[in-house]
């Protein structure tokens, strides 16, 4: 299961040495609901190597503003606190795995 990332725990997540993958989503977003199970599966598959989490854009204004999220789903790939890549829109599991593997 992906970690729930909030305004309150973002810094703790960013302090992580591992690759961090954050899915920005909302309950009302159809494409977000499509990729949600994929993000949870990837969180289990990469446990201990990649921190994968989700941010509910309706509940975490500070995180959304910090990263300038305008469209969802958006997935950010972060290393040592810096965004190194991003993907906007729904993606397949194979696409996300390829991106994560390339960044590891």
Enzyme catalytic residues: 29, 32
Q: How far apart are the C-alpha atoms of 75 and 67, rounded to whole Å? A: 11
Runs of H (alpha helix) within 8-60: 10-14, 30-45
Tokens in use for 58?
A: 């309706």
Cβ(33)–Cβ(87) under 8 Å? no
Q: How far apart are the C-alpha atoms of 44 and 50, rounded to whole Å? A: 10
């Amino acid at each position: 299961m992906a970690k729930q990332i909030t305004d309150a725990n973002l810094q703790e997540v960013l302090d992580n040495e591992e690759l961090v993958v954050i899915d920005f989503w909302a309950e009302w977003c159809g494409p977000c609901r499509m990729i949600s199970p994929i993000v949870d599966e990837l969180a289990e598959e990469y446990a201990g190597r990649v921190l994968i989490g989700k941010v509910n854009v309706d509940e975490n204004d500070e995180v959304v503003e910090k990263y300038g999220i305008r469209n969802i789903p958006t997935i950010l790939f972060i290393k040592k606190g810096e965004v190194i890549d991003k993907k906007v829109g729904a993606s397949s599991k194979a696409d996300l795995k390829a991106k994560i593997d390339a960044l590891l």
